Amino acid sequence: MELYANAINLPKTVGHWVQPDSPRIIDANNIFEYMNGAGELYLGYRFNHIEVFEYTFESHENILVELYFMETSDDAFGLLSLDWGGEHVSFGGSNEKSPGPSLASSARALYGGGLLRLWSDNLYVRIMAYRETPDSKKAVYTLGRAIVANRKSSSEPELLKFLHADRDSAWRLRKDRLSFFRSYLVLNSIYYISEENILDLDLSVEAIMAPYEHITGSSDNKHVQFLLIKYQNHGSASKALSHFHAAYLPEHKEKDMADSAAKDPNYFKLEDGWLAYTLLGKYIAIVFECPDQESAKEIIQQNGSNILEKGGYHER
CA 132/CA 68 separation, integer angstroms? 23
Query: Does the structure show a pLDDT above 60 at 218?
Result: no
Q: How confident is the model at residue 260 (pLDDT cuts 50, 70, 90)?
A: very low
Amino acid at 278: T
Q: How far is CA 140 from CA 18, 26, 114, 128, 144, in A?
A: 13, 22, 8, 7, 6
Stronger pLDDT, 224 or 9, i.e. the higher one: 224
pLDDT at residue 208 in the model: 97
Query: Does the structure show a pLDDT above 70 at 78?
Result: yes
Asked which of 104-108, 114-118, 263-267, 303-307 is least confident by mean pLDDT, the reply is: 104-108
Predicted TM-score of the model (pTM) = 0.89
**Is the Cα torsion angle 94, 74, 167, 110 positive or negative in sign?**
negative
pLDDT at residue 3 in the model: 45
CA torsion, points 83, 44, 232, 172, in degrees to nearest 10? -10
Residues in the chain, overall count: 316
Query: Does the structure show a pLDDT above 70 at 252?
Result: yes
pLDDT at residue 258 in the model: 46
Q: How confident is the model at residue 253 (pLDDT cuts 50, 70, 90)?
A: confident
The overall average pLDDT reported for the chain is 87
Stronger pLDDT, 9 or 129, i.e. the higher one: 129
pLDDT at residue 316 in the model: 47
How does pLDDT run across 162-199, given as a tens digit for each residue? 998 876 778 889 988 999 999 999 999 999 999 999 99
Query: Does the structure show a pLDDT above 60 at 116?
Result: yes
- 127: helix, coil or strand? strand
Query: Does the structure show a pLDDT above 50 at 4?
Result: no
How does pLDDT run across 10-38, given as a tens digit for each residue? 999 999 999 988 899 999 999 999 998 78
The residue ranges of DSSP E strands in 104-150, in sequence order, are 109-112, 115-120, 123-129
The stretch 62-68 carries a mean pLDDT of 96
Asked which of 99-108, 207-216, 251-260 is least confident by mean pLDDT, the reply is: 251-260
pLDDT at residue 261 in the model: 43
Q: How confident is the model at residue 123 (pLDDT cuts 50, 70, 90)?
A: very high
Task: State percent of the chain over pLDDT 90.
Answer: 68
Mean pLDDT is highest, among 55-69, 185-199, 216-230, for: 185-199
Q: Rounded to the nearest 5°, which phi and psi values hold at 24?
A: -85, 135
* CA neighbor of 67 nearest in space, from 76, 58, 59: 76
Q: How confident is the model at residue 88 (pLDDT cuts 50, 70, 90)?
A: very high
Query: Side-chain half-sphere of 56: how many Cα atoms within 13 Å?
Result: 3
Domains of the chain, earliest start first: 5-148 (no CATH), 158-314 (3.40.1000.70)
